[in-house]
A and B are shown apart, each in its own frame.
Chain A
Amino acid sequence: MIEWNENISGEQATLNLEGKITFENAGELRNRVKAILSEFPLKTLTFDLAGVRFVDSSGLGLLVSIKNTMVKRNGSFKIVNITETVRNIMNQTGLDKYFEI
């Protein structure tokens, strides 16, 4: 289960997420991010993961694809307020450096 609220203003957007980002729900979150990116001229997208207590490999894959998409748009993707469990999974897979967390 994943829920989020969105703060979009000008070229910046922050999504505050709560729950788990996993293979069951990553597709729904991906669709929403795609819709936001096609509607708004974002330069910076931030995911606040303070409320996310778990991600699996599909969740990681989604975060990677969002970062790749933002880089292609000459924008940036930031992850902030990461929980210990999520940080451990990032460390295991070498993604901590990629996301600069």
Chain B
Amino acid sequence: MDTATLALQLEMTGKNGPRILDFNDDLKNYTHFFNRVVDHLHDSNLQVLRLSSTFESRRNHIEWIMSFSEHILYKVPIVPPEYLSPMLLIIHEAVSNAVYHGNLCVPDEIRTSRTFHEYEEELSAGHPELLDRQATLKLSLFHDQGELTITDSGKGFDYQRELDRNHPPSPEREMGRGIYILKQTADEIRFDDNGKTLHVRKYWRKT
């Protein structure tokens, strides 16, 4: 069924310079790569980690990139513990925004009535080209900050309206909190290219 290739590069910089691990293959061949990654993550000399991945808008790709980036975030000795949840929240909102709104153009009424799995099956029958749409995620973790950039293959959107919002959506609204949460959680947020690219930065403040 799905033979889509997934690309990933992990660059880990310690005292002895950068080490780069590459993966560019079908998802089913990923376990071996993951085991290689795990061997390197606990290096206490690690100072900078850069994750870069291009994936498609399929459920297995999304689940993979989410669990992989969470694993990296929680296992590398770079991010202070109190910033783990905020960074995980940033990754979730950024990826779901890029995939649901950007690439798959999922209407709100579908999001509130179908599972991702059900909607994916509908798309495979009617608009399989949407599932092929790619997103590129770049996550960089430094000793004092985290940085995320994501680019989707959609048409863009009126991001200024979302950024100008100074109050959370009214509590009984089911949708529309993603960008507000990003804005609240991040220290810097910027859209480019008509909203197709999102940049987010979060500083770790020493207490």
CB distance from B204 to the nearest CB of A (A): 16
Segment at the B interface, from A10-18, A39-47, A51-59, A74-82? A51-59
Q: Is the CB of A24 within 8 A of B112?
A: no
Q: Is the CB of B177 within 8 A of A23?
A: no
**Range, interface on chain B:** 20 to 34
Secondary structure class of chain A's binding surface, majority of residues: helix
Secondary structure class of chain B's binding surface, majority of residues: helix
> Which residues of chain A have C-beta atoms less than 8 A from B62's C-beta?
24
Q: Is the CB of B177 within 8 A of A60?
A: yes
Q: Is the CB of A57 within 8 A of B85?
A: no
> Which residues of chain A have C-beta atoms less than 8 A from B177's C-beta?
57, 60-61, 93
Q: Is the CB of A64 within 8 A of B174?
A: yes
Given A57-B178, A60-B177, the answer on whether A23 and B116 have CB atoms closer than 8 Å is yes
CB distance from A20 to the nearest CB of B (A): 9
**CA of A65 to CA of B171 in the docked complex: distance in angstroms?**
10
Q: Is the CB of A27 within 8 A of B168?
A: no
Given A57-B178, A60-B177, A93-B177, the answer on whether A27 and B116 have CB atoms closer than 8 Å is yes
Segment at the A interface, from B32-40, B125-133, B179-187? B179-187
**CA of A68 to CA of B175 in the docked complex: distance in angstroms?**
13
Task: Bits for A66-101, please: 1 = Cβ < 8 Å to B, else 0.
Answer: 011000000000000000010011001111011000
> Which residues of chain A have C-beta atoms less than 8 A from B75's C-beta?
none
CB distance from A83 to the nearest CB of B (A): 10
Please list the residues of chain B having a beta carbon within 8 angstroms of any beta carbon in chain A: 59, 62-63, 66, 85, 88-89, 92-93, 96, 100, 111-112, 114-118, 167-169, 171-175, 177-178, 180-181, 184-185
